Structure 1
Amino acid sequence: MKKFLSLIVIVFMFSSCGSQDKTLASIENTVNITDNAKPKLIVGIVVDQMRYDYLTRFDSKFGEGGFKRMINEGFNCKNNHFNYVPTYTGPGHASVYTGTTPKYHGIISNNWYDKEIKETVYCASDDSVESVGTTGYAGKMSPQRMLTTSFADENRLFTQMRGKTIGIAIKDRGAILPAGHTANAAYWFHGKEEGAWITSTFYRNELPQWVKDFNTSDAAGSYFKIWDTYQPIETYTESGNDLNDFEGGFKGQETATFPYDLAALKSENNGFDILKATAYGNSLTVDFAMAAIKGEALGQDDDTDVLAVSFSSTDYVGHNFGVNSKEIEDTYIRLDRDLERFFNYLDTTIGEGEYTVFLTADHGAVDVPAYLQSIKIPAGYLDYNDRKERFTTFLESSYGTKDIVENVSNNQIFFNKEKLKELNLNIHEVEQALVDEQISYPNIAKVYTATTMNSTNYTTGIEALLQNGFNQKRSGDVIVVDDIAHIAYSRTGSTHGSGLNYDTHVPLLFFGKGINHGETYTKTVIPDIAPTISALLGVSFPNGSTGDVLGFVID
């Protein structure tokens, strides 16, 4: 019996060893597969001011190789939202790549009042650096005001700085903030009379030869041509009449109607800047992005590279013509073709199935309130001058001076703390007094204090969005929320910034290497993107990330 038991033990030991060897081999194979499964290139695409419904409204006009390719081959998160206020370009781009909200990354708006230096600052400005590629101020930019890392930064750290990062956008902030702090370069388009892609000494002291070659190639100048609809205008049934009262248009042309002779209009519309506000600005961005892939040899070695591309022209067109315009429809039809051209180039240079793309937006936009009013939907325009007069009168009658308020901007009121102390005023009592005053004004829906934002944990509603956008050191002392579909803007064109669905609901598409095929109506939020890409790459999450990994997206 003992001999029999000994034999069983010996057999078990040998079989265990064999099993362990197989397990180790399996682990080794898994590691190899995992290493090989990493994409050679991550392409992050942010479409400025893209509402989610543009995917569905214009679906019948799209080809098979752009948006539809991403949907048909990749994963579509249909209920994707921003989870903070304000929904502006700077905070949007920062949040996509850092995986957190302004509460932590610190980009609380495009411009904000700096309480320490008592001046308004721009999210990407940096006087400590110099312009490269232009002699003007346009290049004095960097990501220095962004407080956290991006997933591109974490990829650089993980690869011992071998994996490259390049940021590209017509807008400086659309290139700089996504690229992060460790980028090899970020490039943005300087229009006016120059029409050149530029950078700053934060990244390098001179433009690389491939950028110089691109700038001298007249690629930008080639787009000074007729902008007419890509397809017959009578087929554009997904948008309003071409001639209406709700669009801005260009100087030098009497009506905001197709076609637009850009060569003839450029002199009255700041030269190359007119291209920014047309569909051709996106085409130029793709041209430059492809040149960057070749010039920087992106995706050509074993270390994953990151290319951050933002299409800014969609925002300029939306602001000018509105979300229901023929111009916006044509811009997205043409962008779809540009995406197809871009993906085909990636197939050729990187290899089909060797790269990963995500596409989202930095915010949406509201329908032109004047148009909404014309069809009896509640909407309107804000009279800030009337608010200012009433508020000044209140301050002077209540406190004897208006100087207790230092600044009013971005729907926030900033106190002069020194003046409050001088007058021996209790800051919390003044906060509440201003709340009670502001809530009585027309078209103000809600008002909150900084104390409330710091002391109450909100999980739902506009209050949670405000809190996610509230940075204790940078934000104001009283926060104002306007009525739905009420904006401080011209009566033509669209804008954004609220926590409402028309501003928060934006696309989120993934496709390429390591991505599942499917779709979901499960709610996802913008900060989920960066940790998801980090998980795909096996790198650390951005250091301030608060988003979740979308495990159902990853194959």
Structure 2
Amino acid sequence: MKNFFTLVAALFLFISCGAQSNTTDSKSQKTTIETNEGPKLVVGIVVDQMRYDYLTRFQSKFGDGGFNRMISEGFNCKNNHFNYVPTYTGPGHASVYTGTTPKTHGIIGNNWYDKETKEMVYCAGDDNVTSVGTENRAGKMSPHRMQTTTFGDENRLFTQMKGKTIGVSLKDRGAILPAGHTANAAYWFHGRDEGSWISSSFYMNELPQWVKDFNISEKAESYLKEWDTYYDITTYTESGVDENTFEGGFKGKDKATFPYDLKTLSKDNRGFDILKATPYGNSLTTDFAMAAIKAENLGQDNITDVLAVSFSATDYVGHNFGVNSKEVQDTYIRLDKDLERLFNYLDSTVGSGEYTVFLTADHGAVDVPSYLNSVKVPAGYVDNKGRKVKLNAFLNTTYGTKDIVENISNDQIFLNRAKVKELGLKLSDVQDAIAMEELSYASVSKVYTATTMSTTSFSKGVEELLQNGFNQKRSGDVILVNDAAFISYGKTGSTHGSALNYDTHVPLLFFGKGIKHGETFTKTVIPDIAPTISALLGISFPNGASGEPLGFVID
């Protein structure tokens, strides 16, 4: 009997210890779940049209708190490239945050020809939503054409929608596509005679009070002032002469030279829209981003939030004045000061060492071809009208009608499938014939067909980039590649879109919590960014991600 009671007591003690152990494990697990050892806030920064060499060319003019702080404290991927074409704003922003290319996420351009509706569509346009904050159609936008998730979406799902995601940019597509499908909000700037930050009913029915307060604060008005160089213009030795024939400038001013009276010039340049083409557009974006951090309490708890900021003014300035202009140099010097402001604000609100930042670009830009010609570098301009006349003549001679081509846009030719069938022709034969004809035209370097893109696997060269940008349902039947530095654009200012290094080589900087200090010349590609941030946060990769996490960046 004594042995029996001893056995019962031992069994009771064993069960009690087991129960206590389970309770302790449960508490430990709960603590683990509720304590986030990752960053409180991830800030993704995309600088629109930033070539990699802007980091090195203007570095001596930067201070210690912006670009140079990211380099000195963080990790610099010096050989970072886009691995697809076209290198445009919409695809660029989508690829940074989805971790994949247009082949998968579906944003094949800023605008493209929709083969089903037979009309051009805009990457963020959505007639099923309404504008919020304006009566203008500028708010009828959403990410519905982007077919995959962003790392912000995955963070929202992982945190049971507790982690916030907010997108901010002068451009609607620069705010909407990075923010993703589950974002709490995306805000963009509507200029003209309003000068307000707006959104759409995809996110909300009414602007939050803090956005309304910001819009009536006259912050935008305060930037309608003189734009002169931040430093003495004679010290801007890293850019070309101020007065030249390669820049566009503003209506109402005879020469594209400093200084610019923005308040006066705004009358002939779409009102507040003039700010977009000056460094003050970036300053205004910084002001609004900091207001969002404060009002939305971003980074104020242990659940990671995401703030996607796109600085768009750099793109407008580049398009207007060109890669080698004094205006571009001054814009980057001033952007460096805005980055310093933003980082200092993050230090004081979220806490130094409690947030993580990455900075990249959505594409680079080519030097103005007319400038390149002046220094004997091969470059030029595509004669689209001349090409079209020749192609129509070929189509009429070969098929008896030019209607066999339905649309030409984004260096792609879309065939009228119904017409091809009506004429009893084989689609691939028509594609091949048009491709060979286009290849004979001036300034055309290469031509590929949709059939080739769909049936052949490329692993290097421009062919690989074309294939990564090719979406079977959305892309055209014939894809054209122009000669190096030949562009479809005006004779002043810069543009982008190619598979060449001036468009694909862009910065990639990481710094903050969880990031090592260092640098590499190992090649990285834009789709690597989202998996890297996902790995840092311990969340699922975006559902279409094709990039790889950069383990050498994470501490």
What TM-score bracket applies, with the shorter chain setting the length? over 0.9
Aligned to 2:9: none
Aligned to 2:200: 200
Aligned to 2:348: 348
2:219 counterpart SS class = coil
Tell me, in whole angstroms, the C-alpha distance in 1 between the residues paired with 2:474 and 2:144.
15
1:313 aligns with 2:276: no
Aligned to 1:302: 302
Tell me, in whole angstroms, the C-alpha distance in 1 between the residues paired with 2:506 and 2:212.
35
1:250 aligns with 2:250: yes
Aligned to 1:43: 43
How do 1:122-201 residues align onto structure 2 when only pairs under 5 Å count? Answer: 122-201=122-201
Please, what is the CA RMSD of the aligned residues?
Answer: 1.3
> Aligned AA for 1:166?
I
How do 1:78-477 residues align onto structure 2 when only pairs under 5 Å count? Answer: 78-477=78-477
Aligned to 2:480: 480
Tell me, in whole angstroms, the C-alpha distance in 2 between the residues paired with 1:316 and 1:37.
39
Tell me, in whole angstroms, the C-alpha distance in 1 between the residues paired with 2:37 and 2:84.
34
How do 1:35-74 residues align onto structure 2 when only pairs under 5 Å count? Answer: 35-74=35-74
> Aligned AA for 1:119?
E
- How far is the alpha carbon of 1:35 from its aligned partner? 4.8
Q: TM-score, normalised to structure 1's length? A: 0.94
1:526 aligns with 2:526: yes
Tell me, in whole angstroms, the C-alpha distance in 1 between the residues paired with 2:58 and 2:181.
37
Q: Percent identity?
A: 74
> Aligned AA for 1:481?
V
> Aligned AA for 2:537?
L
- How far is the alpha carbon of 1:427 from its aligned partner? 0.7
Tell me, in whole angstroms, the C-alpha distance in 1 between the residues paired with 2:514 and 2:507.
20
- How far is the alpha carbon of 1:36 from its aligned partner? 4.1
Tell me, in whole angstroms, the C-alpha distance in 1 between the residues paired with 2:99 and 2:147.
12
- How far is the alpha carbon of 1:32 from its aligned partner? 5.1
- How far is the alpha carbon of 1:37 from its aligned partner? 2.5
> Aligned AA for 1:223?
Y
Asked if the contact 1:114–1:120 (Cα under 8 Å) also holds between the matched residues in 2, the reply is: yes
Tell me, in whole angstroms, the C-alpha distance in 1 between the residues paired with 2:519 and 2:461.
25
CA deviation profile, 1:287-315 (whole Å, cap 9, x unmatched): 00000001111111121000000000000
2:213 counterpart SS class = helix
Aligned residues: 530
Q: TM-score, normalised to structure 2's length? A: 0.94
Tell me, in whole angstroms, the C-alpha distance in 1 between the residues paired with 2:136 and 2:260.
29
- How far is the alpha carbon of 1:435 from its aligned partner? 1.1
- How far is the alpha carbon of 1:33 from its aligned partner? 11
Asked if the contact 1:92–1:363 (Cα under 8 Å) also holds between the matched residues in 2, the reply is: yes
1:396 counterpart SS class = helix
Q: What stretches of structure 1 of length at least 5 have no aligned partner?
A: 1-20
> Aligned AA for 1:386?
G
CA deviation profile, 1:88-117 (whole Å, cap 9, x unmatched): 000000000000000000000000000011
Tell me, in whole angstroms, the C-alpha distance in 2 between the residues paired with 1:32 and 1:314.
43
The 3 A distance-change label for structure 1 pair 492 and 443 is same
Tell me, in whole angstroms, the C-alpha distance in 1 between the residues paired with 2:433 and 2:357.
50
Asked if the contact 1:37–1:513 (Cα under 8 Å) also holds between the matched residues in 2, the reply is: no
Tell me, in whole angstroms, the C-alpha distance in 1 between the residues paired with 2:364 and 2:33.
39
CA deviation profile, 1:31-56 (whole Å, cap 9, x unmatched): 95995421000000000000000000
- How far is the alpha carbon of 1:433 from its aligned partner? 0.5
How do 1:503-522 residues align onto structure 2 when only pairs under 5 Å count? Answer: 503-522=503-522
Asked if the contact 1:282–1:338 (Cα under 8 Å) also holds between the matched residues in 2, the reply is: yes
**Post-superposition, which runs of at least 4 consecutive aligned residues in structure 1 deviate over 2 A?**
31-37
CA deviation profile, 1:461-486 (whole Å, cap 9, x unmatched): 00000000000000000100000000
